[in-house]
Structure 1
């Protein structure tokens, strides 16, 4: 039997970084988690334990902190690009770098006082390789939304195991995880983030839904129509089921007013929407 080394990468996961930028009495906070992954000339370290081509994960962590001090964090996509390009350019053995960042929001309550935003998390994944190719995927997760009406579900396959009753009026709730791919590295990432987020929310609220799949497509289509700088949107949307409670044993009716919010199991709807001329995604989503 012959075996060989397959695809591999290594890095430092979830380096926690908080940067306070002081502008006189007014402070600004960037709170992020940075994960770096490197790949390249790594056969010897796997086969013989020779570490000559390995940039230690502790060094990767230190680079994150040093770059925050030297350049500032700013837009997380730009920070991730700066790190990825550095790792590939500075080490001959590193042929590809992947940097993933999550950003956690803080709401200002004073010049230097903040309360943690319990809402969605901003995300990005950046790839850069030795050929100079860069891909930037921005995103968000844990964006919890709900329509209390304007959602139906009927006309589906019915077999001997089906018990779900069709409905023309249900609660539609989900926690949106969305990623969107930029056509070119170097976009105005902050402006694009705000616009895509607005489009996702507007489409969710404005679509009379016959299925969560239909709503997913409408959200992606709205973002692509409004934002020419992005070429593809991918969405994962768990269906947060709300079931009307049977109150008849207590002599009470329930006209879609009292619900049981079930946390699991749940339907999970995933899909992508892209322009017909979108460039090849390559490794963008890995």
Structure 2
């Protein structure tokens, strides 16, 4: 039997970076979690243990921290692009760099005081290779949404193990993970993020849902029709089930008022929406 080395990459994950910019008594805060991954001519290190082509993961961590000081940290997409281009250009052995960043929000509590935002986490993934191909994917995770009505689920397939009852009125709740692919690598990423986020919220609130799949498509469609700089959206929507509590043993009715919020098990609905003329994603989603 003959075997060979398959796709591989290596890097540094969980690089926690906090940068403070001081403008007199007023301070500004950026709080990031950065992951880098490099690939290329790495056969020797796997097959013979020759480390000559390996840029240590500790060096990658140091680069993230040094670049935060040298170049500052603005939009996370721009910082990820800067890092990815550097790693590909730093050595002949590195053909491809992947940089993923999560940004944690803080609300100002004073000139130099901040309160951690309990909302969603902003994300991005940037790919860059030695042929100059670059892909920018922005997004968010843990955006918790809930509709108290306007959601149905019926007419589904039934087999011998089906116990779920059809409903024409239910709570629909989810924690959105969404990622959207840019047509180019430049642009106003802050404004694009706000537009895409608003579209997700509007579509969720404004769609009378017959299924979470239908809602997923409506959310992706709203983003693409409102944001011409984007060409593809992928969403993961866990169904955070809310079950009506049976209060009849206590002599009480329950007209859609008291629910049990179950955290598991949960349905997980995933899917993508893209423009018909969207360019090939290549490595954008790896």
Q: TM-score, normalised by structure 1?
A: 0.99
1:261 and 2:241 matched? no
1:190 corresponds to: 190
Q: How far apart in 2 are the matches of 1:79 and 1:53?
A: 25
Mapped pair 1:221 → 2:202: no
Residue of structure 2 equivalent to 1:13 = 13
Between the aligned partners of 2:217 and 2:71, the Cα distance in structure 1 is: 38
Q: In the alignment, does 2:7 pair up with 1:4?
A: no
- Following the alignment from structure 2 to structure 1, what is the Cα–Cα distance between the partners of residues 158 and 63? 56
SS of residue in 2 equivalent to 1:2: coil
- The match for 2:150 is 150
Report the equivalent of 2:109: 109
Alignment of 1:207 with 2:207, yes or no, is: yes
Report what 1:57 is aligned to: 57
SS of residue in 2 equivalent to 1:128: strand
Q: Which runs of 5+ in 2 are unaligned?
A: none
Please identify runs of 4+ aligned residues in structure 1 that moved more than 3 A. none
Q: Distance in 1 between matches of 2:142 and 2:222?
A: 20
Report deviation, 1:187: 2.0
Whole-angstrom CA distance in 1 between matches of 2:257 and 2:249: 16
Q: Deviations over 1:167-211 (max 9, x none)?
A: 111000000000000000012110000000000000000000000
Unaligned residue ranges in structure 1 (runs of 5+):
none
- The CA distance in 2 between the partners of 1:158 and 1:249, in whole Å, is 30
Match of 2:139?
Answer: 139
Pair 1:80 & 2:77 matched: no
Counterparts of 1:47 and 1:19, CA distance in 2: 40
Aligned to 1:128: 128
**TM-score normalised over the length of structure 2:** 0.99
**C-alpha separation in 1, matches of 2:58 and 2:111:** 35
Instruction: Name the counterpart of 1:48.
Output: 48
How do 1:240-255 and structure 2 match up within 5 A?
Answer: 240-255=240-255
